[in-house]
A and B are shown apart, each in its own frame.
Chain A
Amino acid sequence: MNFEPVMLSEKENALREEVRTFLAKQKHFLSNHSVIDPWFACVPEFSLLLGAQGWIGMTFPRKYGGAERSYLERYVVIEELLAAGAPVGAHWFADRQIGPLLLRFGTEEQKNFFLPQIVRGECYFSIGMSEPDSGSDLASIRTKGKRVDGGWLINGQKTWTSFAQNSRYMVLLCKTTASSDDRHEGMSQFIVDLESEGVTRRPITNLAGEEHFYEVFLEDVFVPEGRLLGAEGNGWNQVMAELAFERSGPERFLSNFQLLAEALEVLRSSDYREAARQTIGLLVTRLMVLRQMSLSVASQLQSGALPVTEATIVKDLGTSFEQEMVDCLRTQLVVEAGNDAAERIGQLLCGSILKSPSFSLRGGTREILRGILAKGLGLR
């Protein structure tokens, strides 16, 4: 396993300053939206602004509207946005994984059609993987694609689909041939227009009272031939290729960074300052090291590698950190959490407590990640 540390250059440093200057002018976006879990805050106006800055799809080739920036440059931009609590949810999946997926497996027509829209910050994607009976066991999905004249007919149901209402498209994984001995065979990915006939989207309210995930019902939904993504039957491998992008980024340990930053402000002038030093030191250490691990993965992505095992480690340690931070800080702060608390710290704590179960569930549960690692260690 490789976590060779990375030093950023002047180029990335200058870009970081640019992002900070930009964010200083966008205070209303930062205060009007939830700063806990900023990559689940969906604000299309803000995505358009970022698109205009050239900060979406920044690694994509120029011919598709991208800036051909490096993964380390992208890293710097997204860590600045997340740390500031900027609402980057609308374009998040398109930027993080659908773009790279299209670049790797898409047809020329698909790249020409989708990538420039993604880069502009106006084309959003959801990810259609989980189903009511298929959570961690993704290979057991039942949604089917049947070949018909000029394309495919999709039938089935997806669930926990984040932003299905805000996204025009969903990358859907389904079965395209009858089950064989190898349960990973016979799956394909499609780009489904969520405004197609036969698609029904129904919100599910989460325990924090928000509606960002959906059930998506697909009844005889026609998907034209040109919207098969990658090779027929190669769906499982394509999904696995996304994982290094999906699991290694700073969003896996910065979801509630604002809580830590605010806690520091509160504690520095409180009676509990002395007592809190050790806790703060331990939490900051975690953050420092996770950031270096994540940077290292970004640098490996840049060199063309797909460090899936390393990404798995970043996600498991990172999301555990996000969850432990809530517990560590609440006992130092001596404040009662509430969405309508008078103090900002009470609101941030409330948001963190309510959202924290999802940190380690989304994108592969802790137990699944550890199973992957065990395999990587030669134990399975």
Chain B
Amino acid sequence: MNEITNIIEESVSNLFQSHANSDAVEVMESGGFPSRFWEEFYDGGWCGITLPEDEGGAGMGLAGGYILMRLSGYHAVPLPIVEPIISTHLLSLAGLPPQNGFSTVAIADSSVENEGSYHFKRVPWARHASGLVVVIPGESDARLVWIDRAQLKVAERTNVAGEPRDDVMVNNEALKGAVILPGISPARVLSWFALGRAAQMTGALVKALDRTVEYANERKQFGRLIGKLQALQQQIAVQAEYVNYARCAVDTAIIHLDSPQEWECIAAAKISAGEAAGKVCNTAHAVHGAIGFTREHLLQMSTRRLWAWRDEYGNEAQWATKLGDLCLGIESGSLWPWLTEQSHK
């Protein structure tokens, strides 16, 4: 990791740590928006971290964005992070002007079109957004359009973690004038958001493990720390294995961005993070016992997010089916050569 990355990590961690407390999360869960926190993040210019410097960004590319997403997952930040950053990136790629406030995203296909309007389900943070980026499948390249919040009909919904996942209706007319996203398929756009969730998940996985180890080292039963019990040690060891497994998968996908292997590495990242989420949450709650089942205990801030995020932008089964289909379709006898294309410059 280079120096710039370290500085960014430190500065954003400090910001997240000072604001992402359970009060801010309660504000979010009761339908509000932690505005001061958001303003500090927004005014820091972090939504443009991926943009080139001549567009006012930090020149870090998507890889830089994923650093912030991972940190937001670790700190259970009750703000939209993935959607504003990637939407900003998409607008720039499409040559469209940046928008004030933040945009969220929806992917349009025929399944969501009905009688002159599009019905998008579970759009992240739509109620608080200033606009919606709609990605439309094209002949090969995706097309993209930005729609002002005023044109959206929003029905408020939430995910397992109480984060806004709203149903949005928009008139077909609003999608006219979409511009081409040169060289980028809709599947690729979806994969970038999926990697965003996976990156958040690795942050939350690390936090859940940290809390579990800490609790096992302070809770006493039968006259000794429960962390000294072999039965628990074995479970926590496996938990740590899956946390590291998911982290490696996500980091691998990040270094394969823009390579021909980008898509399959992202698929593996979302699958791995999803698989890890279930196992890691199970052990975290088993070790914490009843106290971890309370709303008051902070463990739920990580585990509820993991349960929600593993299903968003495609769950493990959906991604595995696509990846498996790809593998079954490659040339006979070439699974190994296909596999070893990964990690080659």
Min CB distance A335 to B, Å, is: 17
Contact of A379 among B236, B317, B333 (CB under 8 A): B236
Instruction: Give residues of chain B (143-182) contacting chain A, Cβ–Cβ below 8 Å.
Output: none
B268 x A288 contact (CB < 8 A): yes
How distant is B311 from chain A, measured CB to nearest CB, in Å? 15
Is B228 within 8 A of A380, CB to CB?
A: yes
B340 to A367, Cβ gap below 8 A?
no
Could you say which residues of chain B place their CB within 8 Å of the CB of A8?
343-345
In Å, the complex CA distance between A4 and B2 comes to 13
B205 CB to nearest chain A CB (Å): 13
A295-B237 contact, Cβ under 8 Å, with A285-B267, A377-B213, A378-B213: no
Output the least CB separation between B254 and chain A (Å): 8
Residues of A within 8 A of B251 (CB): 3-5
Contact residues in A for B228 (Cβ distance below 8 Å): 379-380
Most chain A C-beta atoms within 10 Å of own C-beta, residue among B227, B234, B320, B324: B324
* A contact residues around B272 at 8 Å (CB): 285, 289
Q: Which of A259-304 contact B (CB under 8 A)?
A: 260-261, 264-265, 267-268, 273, 276-282, 284-285, 287-289, 291-293, 295-296
B323 adjacent to chain A (CB < 8 Å) = yes
A289 and B249 contacting across the interface, CB-CB below 8 Å: yes
Q: Which of B252, B275, B324, B339 contacts A280 (CB 8 A)?
A: B324
- Indicate if B71 sits at the interface (CB-CB under 8 A): no
Report how far A370 CA is from B342 CA in the complex, Å. 29
Contact B238 A281 (CB under 8 A): no
Specify the chain B residue showing the minimal Cβ separation from A13.
B344
Measured as residues with beta carbon below 8 angstroms from the partner, the interface class of chain B is 35 or more
A6 to B344, CA, bound (A): 9
Q: Complex: how many Å from CA A310 to CA B252?
A: 16
Q: Collect the chain A residues with CB atoms within 8 Å of residue B264's CB.
A: 288
The residue from A257, A278, A369 contacting B324, defined by CB atoms under 8 A apart: A278
Minimum C-beta distance from B97 to chain A (A)? 36
- Inter-chain contact B213/A379, CB cutoff 8 Å: yes
Write out the residue numbers on chain A whose beta carbons fall within 8 Å of the beta carbon of B319. 281
Task: Tell me whether B17 is interfacial, beta carbon within 8 Å.
Answer: no
Q: Are B268 and A374 in contact (CB under 8 A)?
A: no
A10 — nearest CB in chain B belongs to which residue? Answer: B345
B3 interface residue, CB < 8 Å from A? no
- Report yes or no: A374 in contact with B248, Cβ–Cβ below 8 A: no
With a cutoff of 8 Å between Cβ atoms, the chain A residues found around residue B255 in the complex are 5, 7
Are B236 and A374 within 8 A (Cβ)?
A: yes
Interchain CB contact (< 8 A) of B248 among A261, A293, A369: A293
Which residues of the partner chain A approach B325 to less than 8 Å between Cβ atoms?
A: 277, 281
A243 proximal to B (CB < 8 A):
no
Instruction: Report the nearest A residue to B345, measured CB to CB.
Output: A7
Let me know if B332 and A268 touch, CB within 8 A. Answer: yes
Partner of B241, one of A282, A285, A296, A316: A316
Contact with A along B314-345 (1 / 0, CB 8 A): 00110111111101110011011001101111
Q: Flag A204-242 by CB within 8 Å of B: 1 or 0 each.
A: 000000000000000000000000000000000000000
Q: Which residues of A contact B343 (CB under 8 A)?
A: 5-8, 291-292, 295
In the assembly, what is the distance between CA of A316 and CA of B238, in Å? 9
Q: Which residue of B lies closest to A83 (CB)?
A: B336
B333 A265 Cβ-Cβ under 8 A = yes
Q: Is there an interface contact between A285 and B213, defined as CB atoms closer than 8 Å?
A: no
Distance (whole angstroms) from the CB of B226 to the closest CB of chain A: 9
The reply to whether the CB of A313 lies closer than 8 angstroms to some CB of chain B is yes
Asked if B245 lies at the interface with its beta carbon under 8 angstroms from chain A, I say: yes
Taking the complex as formed, is B244 at the interface, i.e. its CB lies under 8 A from any CB of chain A?
Answer: yes
A267 to B323, CA, bound (A): 15
CB of B247 closer than 8 Å to a CB of A: yes
Question: How far is A295 from B268 in the complex, measured between Cα atoms in Å?
Answer: 16
Q: Do A379 and B216 have beta carbons less than 8 Å apart?
A: yes
- Considering only residues 288-339 of chain A, those with a C-beta below 8 Å from chain B are 288-289, 291-293, 295-296, 310, 313, 316-317
Q: Is B217 an interface residue (CB 8 A)?
A: yes
Write the chain A residue with the least CB distance to B251.
Answer: A5
Judge whether B247 and A3 touch: CB under 8 Å. yes
Taking a contact as CB atoms closer than 8 A, the residue among A265, A291, A317 that contacts B339 in the complex is: A291
**Residue A180 interfacial (CB < 8 Å):** no
Tell me how far the C-beta of B35 lies from the nearest C-beta in chain A, rounded to whole angstroms: 37
Q: Which residues of A contact B234 (CB under 8 A)?
A: 367, 370-371, 374
A344 an interface residue at 8 Å Cβ cutoff?
no
Asked if A317 contacts B336 (CB within 8 A), the reply is no
Evaluate contact between B244 and A1: CB separation under 8 angstroms.
yes
Chain A CB within 10 Å, residue with most, of B316, B327, B328: B328
Q: How far is the CA of A13 from the CA of B253 in the complex (A)?
A: 20
User: B90 an interface residue at 8 Å Cβ cutoff?
Assistant: no
Complex CA distance for A13 and B343, rounded to whole angstroms: 10
A70 to B: closest C-beta gap in Å: 14
Cβ of B327 and Cβ of A313 under 8 Å apart? no
Q: Which residues of B contact A281 (CB under 8 A)?
A: 267, 271, 319-325, 327
- Tell me the residues in window 254-280 of chain B with beta carbons closer than 8 Å to chain A beta carbons: 255, 264-265, 267-268, 271-272, 275
Task: Write out the residue numbers on chain A whose beta carbons fall within 8 Å of the beta carbon of B265.
Answer: 288
Asked whether, in the complex, the Cβ of B327 is within 8 Å of the Cβ of A3, the reply is: no
Given A281-B321, A289-B268, A313-B244, A265 contacting B332 (CB threshold 8 A):
yes
Whether a CB of chain B sits under 8 angstroms from the CB of A353 is: no
Interface centre among B228, B236, B335 (most CB of A within 10 A): B335
Residue of B nearest to A76 (CB): B340
Q: Is A373 an interface residue (CB 8 A)?
A: yes
Where the two chains meet, the residues of B that have a C-beta atom closer than 8 Å to any C-beta of A are: 213, 216-217, 227-228, 230, 232-234, 236-238, 240-241, 244-245, 247-249, 251-252, 255, 264-265, 267-268, 271-272, 275, 316-317, 319-325, 327-329, 332-333, 335-336, 339-340, 342-345
Of the A-B pairs whose beta carbons lie under 8 Å apart in the complex, a sample of 15, sorted by A's number, is A3-B248, A276-B328, A282-B271, A282-B324, A284-B327, A285-B267, A292-B252, A292-B342, A292-B343, A296-B248, A316-B238, A373-B237, A379-B233, A379-B236, A380-B228
> 10 more A-B contacts (CB under 8 A) besides A281-B271, A370-B233?
A5-B248, A79-B340, A260-B335, A277-B324, A282-B316, A284-B268, A284-B323, A289-B249, A289-B252, A293-B245
